[in-house]
Amino acid sequence: MQSLDINFIYFYLYLLCHTLIVFMHYTLHQLQIFLKIAELQSITKASEALHLTQPAVSIQLKNFQNQFPFPLTEVVGRQLYVTDFGTEIAHAAEKILNEVHAINYKTLAYKGQLSGRLKISIVSTGKYVMPYFLSDFMKMNEGVELIMDVTNKSRVVESLEMNEVDFALVSVLPKKLVVDKVELMQNKLFFIASNSMEIKKGLTRKKLFEKFPLIYREDGSATRAAMESFITQNKFSVKKKMELTSNEAVKQAVLSGLGCSIMPLIGIRNELKNKNLQIVPLKGLPICTSWNLIWLKSKKLSPVSKAYLNFLGSEKDRIINQNFSWINNF
């Protein structure tokens, strides 16, 4: 029976490749690139997501387009749009790539190796945390494909609720969803300022918030929610506030002296070490939460997901001690 299965897989792969060669001269690489362009509506964003140069992506798109009599994309002003025809091709490309992935997974499974996709959505600051808890697992299981989306909390929770991902990494548990969780590690938020900014000792908390502009994350961010809760509870009035849409943008704004912010410690280690940023001690800070890997309680976990949870169960403490022990110094 197993021999029949593997023979069918090889026959299917031959048939698929033969069909592609006869009717078109595009490659799987071109399909992947076009699918990412269609998804992000941008050559620049697609090149970043695929870790390719923008010219390389543009060339592959041009070569792919040359095989069709109708335009796949159009540019209006500076914005790229996928045409109706392009959308149909993108759907077909996704199906082909999914079939190729399925063939790869079946081949690996036949060899007795763990295979499949691991889909995780993480809040933006989680990019400083999650890779360390994935690296060894991915090295141990070469047949596992990782898809990780980095966004804000609202989108993370939405993707989990819509069953688009296996797991989500959050620092604040969603109230409306019934989830299971693995607590990974502690998350600390401090009041941060540029080291070039002179902050007089003895300045009251109230005066501090009134004197210096405050830089916020966007609505939907857990960091923003924690900051606003702290300000509201203490009845502080804010002199001026700015809103930026990523943790990195906030950090760069603070570094430049635009203002101060309440930020997760995990994302500013190097800046503190190099004395570019300073932690301003304030009563009530740091705000302490936990990084939690969560999944829907009702979800039937795949073999890959179960294997990853087993990996975390045995390796979590080692990973924390190896990579995050420095947090205890603050």
CATH number, domain with residue 123: 3.40.190.10
Residue 286 has pLDDT above 70, yes or no: yes
Q: Over range 30-41, report the average pLDDT.
A: 90
- pLDDT, tens digit, 9 for 90 and up, residues 43-57: 988 888 888 898 999
Residue 180 has pLDDT above 90, yes or no: yes
pLDDT of residue 109: 63
Say if residue 272 is in the same domain as residue 179: no
Nearest Cα neighbor of 192 from 97, 268, 128 is: 268
Percent of the chain exceeding pLDDT 70 equals 90
Say if residue 96 is in the same domain as residue 142: no
How many structural domains is the chain composed of? 3
Which pLDDT band, with edges at 50, 70 and 90, does 151 fall under? confident
Q: What is the mean pLDDT of the chain?
A: 86
- pLDDT, tens digit, 9 for 90 and up, residues 79-118: 999 999 999 999 888 888 877 777 776 666 656 678 788 9
Residue 141 gets the label, from left (phi > 0), alpha (psi -120 to 50) or beta, of beta
Say if residue 302 is in the same domain as residue 160: yes
Say if residue 274 is in the same domain as residue 190: yes
63, 94 Cβ separation under 8 angstroms: no
CATH number of the CATH domain containing 90: 1.10.10.10
Q: Over range 292-300, report the average pLDDT.
A: 95
Say if residue 104 is in the same domain as residue 8: yes
pLDDT of residue 9: 54
Residue 21 has pLDDT above 60, yes or no: no
pLDDT of residue 24: 58
Say if residue 171 is in the same domain as residue 304: yes
Say if residue 179 is in the same domain as residue 297: yes
Q: Over range 7-21, report the average pLDDT.
A: 50
pLDDT of residue 58: 92
Identify the domain boundary among 110, 139, 168: 110
Say if residue 39 is in the same domain as residue 68: yes
Say if residue 178 is in the same domain as residue 204: no
Q: What is the pTM of this model?
A: 0.68
Q: Over range 281-296, report the average pLDDT.
A: 93
pLDDT of residue 19: 46
Task: Give me the domain span that covers residue 254.
Answer: 186-289
Sorted by sequence, the CB contacts under 8 Å of residue 107 that are 6+ apart come out as 6, 9
Identify the domain boundary among 59, 77, 110: 110
Spatial distance between the Cα atoms of 150 and 308, rounded to a whole number of angstroms: 19
Sorted by sequence, the CB contacts under 8 Å of residue 232 that are 6+ apart come out as none
Spatial distance between the Cα atoms of 2 and 68, rounded to a whole number of angstroms: 40
Residue 171 has pLDDT above 70, yes or no: yes
Residue 216 has pLDDT above 80, yes or no: yes
